[in-house]
Structure 1
Amino acid sequence: MLYFWLALAFVAGMMMPMQAGVNSTLALHSNGALWASWISFAVGTAALFGVVLAMRYNWPIATELRQAPWWAWTGGFMGALFVATGAFLAPRIGAATMVALLVAGQLIMSVILDHIGWATFPQHEINLGRILGVLCLIAGVVLIRMY
């Protein structure tokens, strides 16, 4: 089962540059990246709503939702920023540079989040291997941008 989850993460990662390209194309036809992002979220919301209905999930209880910390509600904002930024940057800096920078930012934040064990992440101390991995990724960003 672990290999399935690893493959799923890899395939989902492959969707990042595709999504940015699709959304930047939509931006050309919808008066900008913000409208394209809004449309993208509307389509995504409809798709997820359809899946929830098809799978017959129970509706969340308001009292349970109220117990969530305030920052648990910020994921949609982060997603909107990510989608809008991708739609805006894709035609300006290219897929490889954009994704290299996105992945570098994701990895650096991931190492920090793992180190402190924040939210639902299991704690993994920063070690030499993780630091070297981050440095290699930064070197990759530089190489991709330079050539």
Structure 2
Amino acid sequence: MKWMYLLMSIAGGVAIGIQAIVNGGLGKKVGTIEASFISFFIGTIALLVTMLCFGKGNLFAINEVPKWQLIGGLLGAFYVFILVMSVPKIGVTATFFSIIAGQLLISAIIDHFGLLGGQTYPLNIKKAIAILLMFGSIYLYNQK
């Protein structure tokens, strides 16, 4: 069953890679903030329809969650804005090398300390070296 989630994650990564170039092109035509808004607006409509058709949760439970858990949308908007702004300037690959390195760094910190309600997965020397190599790859990839 674990392989299914790995494959779904790869598919999500493929979708984000395609989203980057699509949104970058949109940003050139309509503006960076405007493209970010359009992307989120269309995504919101798609999620609304999906929720209405298949949702089984309780949307009104929003009042019961810790307020810090509501920043996901802001973080997503920031992420899309960064994509729209960066892809036309440095390309999809350089943008994603940097995004993935940032994701790995913060993920390792969150896992190591069990932050934000997560489980603890200790950082060891091999994992730390892997993260450092990722940052090294950004340097190497962007060398002329």
Class of the TM-score when normalised by the shorter of the 2 chains: over 0.9
Aligned residue number for residue 44 of structure 2: 45
**Hey, which bits of structure 1, 4+ residues long, moved more than 4 A?**
none
State the 1:40 CA deviation.
0.3
Aligned residue number for residue 23 of structure 1: 23
Which structure is higher in helix share? 2
1:83 partner letter: V
- TM-score w.r.t. structure 1 length? 0.91
State the 1:56 CA deviation.
4.2
1:78-93 matches, within 5 Å, as 78-93=75-90
* Structure-2 separation of matches of 1:137 and 1:102: 11
- TM-score w.r.t. structure 2 length? 0.93
Aligned residue number for residue 136 of structure 1: 133
**Gaps spanning 5+ residues in structure 1: where?**
none
Q: Aligned pairs, how many?
A: 144
Pair 1:97-2:94 in alignment: yes
**Gaps spanning 5+ residues in structure 2: where?**
none
Calculate the aligned-residue CA RMSD, in Å.
1.4
* Structure-2 separation of matches of 1:17 and 1:60: 30
State the 1:116 CA deviation.
1.2
> 1:16, 1:99 within 8 Å by CA — same for their partners in 2?
no
What secondary structure, in the 3-state scheme, does the structure 1 residue paired with 2:116 have? coil
* Structure-2 separation of matches of 1:9 and 1:94: 22
Identity of aligned residues (%): 28
* Structure-1 separation of matches of 2:140 and 2:7: 26
1:4 partner letter: M
State the 1:6 CA deviation.
0.3
